[in-house]
Amino acid sequence: MRILVTGGAGFIGSHIVDAYLQEGHEVSIIDDLSSGKQENINPQAKFFKIDVGATEVEDIFKQGRFDVVNHHAAQMDVRKSVADPIFDARVNILGSLKLLQNCVKYKVKKFIFASTGGAIYGEQEKFPAPESHPTKPLSPYGVSKLAGEHYLFFYKMTYNMSSIILRYANVYGPRQDPHGEAGVVAIFAQKLLRGEQPVINGDGMQSRDFIYVGDVVRANVLALSCNGGGVFNIGSSRETTIKQLFKELADIAVVKFQEKYGPPKNGEQRRSVIDFKHAQKVLGWSPQVSLEEGLGKTVDYFKSNR
């Protein structure tokens, strides 16, 4: 297949590009390198340094004649979305719409969309949350991802475009940048290995569902062969508090730090854990890497890339 991966120089997107190439697909990448990195780009892929919203993207579609678009380019920082919701909407909503218009014009068969399984549900009523859970996002980031899902429904009904929506839990693993929009695992791991004191926001009892990037990649590979479309939670269904995460990472990194607490952050929900049974039933997907194993791999990566 001919596949376009947006955000293919980023943390998650670059791993997906590697897997698609390994499967024998022809892969092109769009990334403006605002958060993606040149060193993450697989040399076997065609690379275009460009914003997904640029008018020149149409030329890439015209030449590429893609079968699938895998859309991972995004503004991913929840806190930044709270501080600047207009910027978040411009990147995540308008950028996605411009891609979808090109998909219609150049007859792309399938659109795989990276959504959020944490921010989209808001403060949960059920644990773990299934895909049918009410969507009440507490941040503009969650709102923009939900808007993307609604637009995909419109494009399916109007243009019969198949779409797979993958609602990710908190993804972590090698290549995650411990700066910018980084997740807590990357931030804590790097600080602990540098001998610096990590700061836990709030009381540390807020919980998250952590999923290893390799498991997320498998979901994106399985999505290629999924007939029709659908919305799928991609998480572990395991709830871990930030306090527990800190202790596990400190043990793996073999460093001794007492917990240090800071003020809670705006736009962050208290508990987040999602149910993956639907993905297991339809995609044949379930998480394979335990949190302990995944954290070990992540710490090893940061050790070798200090």
Per residue in 129-156, pLDDT (tens digit) is 999 999 999 999 999 999 999 999 999 9
For residue range 231-245, what is the model confidence (pLDDT) as tens digits? 999 999 999 999 999
Q: Are strands 46-48 and 162-168 parallel, antiparallel or unpaired?
A: unpaired
Structural domain spans, the chain: 2-172+211-237+273-288, 184-206+239-271+296-304
Please work out, in degrees rounded to the nearest 5, the angle formed at the alpha carbon of residue 161 by the alpha carbons of 157 and 164: 105
Question: Which one of 121, 141, 155, 212 is the catalytic residue?
Answer: 141
141 is catalytic: yes
Query: Which architecture does CATH list for 2-172+211-237+273-288?
Result: 3-Layer(aba) Sandwich (3.40)
3-state secondary structure of 70: strand
Tell me the three state secondary structure of residue 221. Answer: helix
Residues 6+ apart with CB under 8 A from 121: 129, 133, 134, 135, 136, 137, 272, 274
**Beta-sheet strand order (sheet of 46-48):** 46-48, 26-30, 2-6, 68-71, 110-116, 162-168, 230-234
What whole-number distance in Å separates Cα of residue 118 and Cα of residue 174? 21
Query: Domain 184-206+239-271+296-304, CATH 3.90.25.10 — does that match?
Result: yes
Tens-place pLDDT, residues 40-51: 999 999 999 999
